[in-house]
């Protein structure tokens, strides 16, 4: 009995200190994997794909306007999501790419979205293109749109969705990402409604995930969060996903982009 008490005492003594050490070691791990990452392979392949003629019109995406002019890639990712007049809606990178695939290349939405999330053997087009295009924003401060009424509306909708509890577990994004000091197993959960915590997150997606050897995009990340909350998976490039992305990116704005990232 005395031994048990002593053991319990030892376990309870410095959980805070242990947690801090663990956090430092995990940060070291994160630094090391970013240093030797296969992420650039996706950037290279994405570049080839960007330049590849496809679809009934047999043209490449090189004239796609990501918000800074046709074909202008430097800084484009850092300024998304934003309102696009020709589509009359707010679009994030993948939503805009889909728009270019259908309008420039003449592809159908069905064909272009047939396989938006890939696997370790074959990344999807969206994943490759996202890697390449995001890389062109390295060093540029994240500055999504925020002046146009539809951009403001998207932000407001995203914020509402962030706190909106639903599904069989009555979860919202805030259930995991709404309070400081929370974690799932060894993963610290960033408070995504707080700019200080959101900034490093927003600056490192899309990312290569070593746990499944796949390159993951924001549309995937949002989709998978909904899945993990046991809610129906949102439609690709939907108003909902763009609103959530707008809220997250705006909350993390100002941070110089340093992706594509490498994560666990």
Positions that interact with another protein (CB under 8 A): 22, 25-26, 28-30, 32-33, 35-38, 40-41, 44, 119-121, 184-187, 210-213, 224, 228, 264
CB of 48 to another protein, least distance (A): 11
Is 210 within 8 Å of 33 (Cβ atoms)?
yes
Do residues 258 and 204 lie in contact, with contact meaning Cβ atoms separated by under 8 Å?
A: yes
Output 168-176 pairs: Cβ under 8 A, ≥24 positions apart.
168/230, 169/229, 169/230, 171/229, 171/230, 171/231, 172/229, 173/225, 173/229, 173/244, 175/229
Of the pair 25, 170, the CB lying nearest another protein is at 25
Nearest Cα residue to 100 out of 131, 60, 160, 158: 60
Of 256, 69, 40, which Cα lies nearest the Cα of 131?
40
Nearer of residues 80 and 202 to another protein, judged by Cβ: 202
Q: Which is nearer to another protein, 84 or 132 (CB)?
A: 132
CB of 210 to another protein, least distance (A): 4
Q: What distance lies between CA 167 and its chain's CA centroid?
A: 22
Give the nearest distance from C-beta 234 to another protein in angstroms: 16
Which entry of 64, 173, 176, 225 is annotated as an active-site residue? Answer: 225
Residue whose token pair is 């915590």: 197
Cα-Cα-Cα-Cα torsion 48, 89, 197, 43, nearest 10 degrees, comes to 0
Quick one: 85 or 211, whose CB is closer to another protein?
211
Asked if 225 is an active-site residue, the reply is yes
- Greatest distance between any 2 Cα atoms in the chain: 79
DSSP β-bridge partners for residue 207:
216, 261
Which CB sits closer to another protein, 33 or 152? 33
Q: Which residues are catalytic?
A: 225
């Amino acid at each position: 009995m005395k031994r048990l008490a002593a053991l319990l005492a030892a376990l309870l003594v410095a959980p805070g200190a242990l947690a801090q050490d663990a956090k430092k070691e995990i940060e070291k791990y994160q630094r090391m994997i970013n240093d030797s990452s296969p992420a650039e392979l996706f950037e290279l392949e994405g570049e080839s794909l960007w330049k590849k003629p496809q679809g009934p019109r047999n043209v490449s995406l090189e004239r796609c306007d990501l918000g800074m002019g046709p074909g202008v890639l430097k800084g484009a990712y850092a300024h998304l999501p934003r309102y696009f007049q020709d589509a009359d809606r707010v679009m994030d990178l993948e939503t805009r790419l889909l728009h270019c695939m259908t309008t420039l290349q003449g592809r159908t939405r069905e064909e272009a979205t047939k396989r938006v999330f890939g696997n370790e053997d074959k990344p999807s087009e969206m994943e490759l293109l996202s890697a390449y295009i995001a890389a062109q924003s390295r060093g540029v401060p994240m500055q999504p749109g925020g002046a146009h009424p539809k951009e403001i509306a998207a932000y407001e909708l995203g914020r509402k969705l962030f706190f909106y509890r639903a599904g069989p577990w009555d979860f919202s994004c805030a259930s995991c990402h709404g309070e400081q000091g929370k974690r799932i197993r060894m993963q610290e959960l960033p408070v995504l409604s707080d700019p200080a915590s959101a900034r490093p997150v927003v600056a490192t997606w899309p990312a290569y995930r070593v746990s499944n050897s796949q390159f993951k995009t924001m549309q995937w990340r949002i989709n998978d969060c909904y899945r993990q909350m046991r809610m129906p998976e949102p439609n690709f490039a939907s108003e909902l996903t763009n609103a959530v992305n707008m809220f997250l990116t705006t909350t993390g704005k100002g941070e110089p982009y340093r992706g594509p990232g490498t994560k666990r």
